[in-house]
A = this chain, B = another copy of it.
Amino acid sequence: MRKDMKQLPVNQFQVKDIFWGNYLELVRASVIPYQWEALNDRIEGAEPSHCIRNFEIAAGRKTGEFSGFVFQDSDLYKWLEAAAYSLMRCPDADLEKKADEAIELIGQAQQPDGYLDTYYIINGLENRFTDLESNHELYCLGHMIEAATAYAQATGKRRFLEISAAFADCAAEHLGKEPGKLPGYPGHEVAEMALVKLYAMTGEKKYLRLASYFIDQRGQQPLFFEQEDREQGRTCYWRDDLGYRYYQAAEPVRGQQEAEGHAVRAVYLYSGMADVARETEDEELFAACKRIWKNIVEKKLYLTGAVGASAHGESFSYNYNLPNDLIYGETCAAVGLVFLAKRMFEMTGDSSYLDVMERALYNGVISGMSLDGKSFFYVNPLEVTPQACHEDHNFAHVKPVRQKWFGCACCPPNLARLLSSVANYAFTTDKDGIYLNLFMGGRVSFETENCRGELEVSTDYPWDGRISVRVVRVEGAPFTMRMRVPGWCRDFAVFRNGGRTEPVRSEGFAALQEMRQGEEAVLELSMPVELIAAHPNVRADMGKAAVMRGPLVYCLEEADNGSGLHRLSLPAGAVFAAEYRDMLGGVTALTCSGLRKTDEGWEEGDLYQVWRSPAEEPVTLTWIPYYAWANRGEGEMSVWIRIKE
């Protein structure tokens, strides 16, 4: 496994991108302020969060009862993390002041021994650490660390880092295999990867040890959660089906073969496993990550990068069970898949991981947020019939329009923190150069062992496949620039200083060596519209095709194509026209000829009739990028369309 690859610090990328620039600005100018209001219960018509109020009560500033979910604290941490990344990019004294005050509030709620979970502080500390399975204390710890490390990086201030370290110390004091400690681990994972960050920032090995312990204790016999259940006088909530697989805790993680259980927890765990494997150079643990990753991408991944097919337990389902309409596909799970993909890439240099990361990011992640940044999907279906959402209980979890805020508000701030830190994902450096993982316009400063450089990237990606890079500055030795050739791309060309060149190709990158100041490189990715098929084992997509152009999955919406999308079909030889349109914030829309089944030949009132060649009329199908669906009111949507061979 590789240990030489590094993510680009957020503040070393100045985004100037027609696609992501808008998202980052939305997060800064709209999502972060809006979510601050939400955390303070000041959004009219939205479910109250109670989050800040809980901290105020725990800190003794107010009296009252704990409200909201048991993991409500984590919403503030996620918000602080998004704010930290935003501050790195765009200093903002007012935002930093709000964040500092929030951190003071958090600090005031902290107990003398470092403990910090408002649910137990308010409801009785005697019960803390008695229900790790369900009560999310360690999940809150994890998100606190994620935020605190980001905030320290953004501002140089250590206060929040110290608060989080003290809580981590408290957890380490109580949990472990040593006599007198509880042999527990998180019910909802995230602390694992967070502790590795805390270790990286503080250099304190104890945090890496705690992360390792959490990972290796998980699923050991006797099962800790089973013991907790017995002590609480209950049986596993998921006893009828998922059992402790819901928590990825039915067996030790090194023996697990498939991605199972609650999808967000799962991908967070696997990310933590990758982190620990890398830091401890544990090839066996890394092999488990690779095995599970393979299971996901080969058998449990939606075309959009969504994961978690089942609403029951918000969980992975069995292999190839990928219903487009019953899907859960939580935004947070796609976010977590991006975390995992990035880690797997950084441990291998293999761009196939980035293909999945890009798939999720451009489709199933950003579909979670409306174009105005003010409403959010928890569930990201690939096929929606609004009447089913309203009237068919099987689809009660699927919302046909995004919601303002959720009582369980994990997804909106999770999106905000990912988008704010997108530079971490777009660029990677190693000892002799830089990797362009994703294509975003802007200015990048980077360092390798032998140089400091600066690039200016210009592109209209994902609408256009041309990526142009100018080496603005190189101090020190020349460097290698590796530009990713996406897995979806079947034809590309590279130009260096105006002339076509044959780059070195390796692990999905086109590498240009010895790059010097003043040089210019252009990657031209051919970006035709492609029809996509799913493996014949996927029942839901049998006889259907989807449409992609570049990294974007497209869909049909009722707004463009009328109702009854199931009546439409796509000829296998369809010719597509792609046109940039001033709609949905500016998108390349696609059109092609299709067919629509009509009612012609149906006797009034017949529900069934003897089959005959069906009446169809020619129609023009209009496709929009999947991420932009449901921004024009409620209507049907479908990614997979019947194909006419």
Contact = CB atoms under 8 A, between A and B. Distances in A.
Contacts of A303: 608
A407 interface: no
A97 interface: no
A599 to B, nearest CB: 6
A644 B533 CA distance: 17
A387 B321 CA distance: 10
Contacts of A297: 605, 607
B606 A393 contact: no
A612 B613 CA distance: 24
A156 B545 CA distance: 67
Interface in A579-627: 597-599, 602, 605-614
Contacts of A132: none
A237 interface: no
Interface string A530-553: 111111111100110110000000
Contact of A564 (B394, B396, B537, B610): B537
Contact of A643 (B394, B490, B611): B611
A62 interface: no
Interface string A284-325: 000000000010011101010000001111000110010000
Q: Chain A, interface size: which category?
A: 35 or more
A143 interface: no
Contacts of A533: 608-612, 614
Given A241-B391, A572-B613, A608-B303, A602 B317 contact: no
A536 B644 CA distance: 16
A608 B567 CA distance: 24
A569 interface: yes
A602 B536 contact: yes
Contacts of A598: 536
A127 to B, nearest CB: 30
A491 interface: no
A44 interface: no
A490 B609 CA distance: 12
Interface in A20-50: none
B569 A392 contact: no
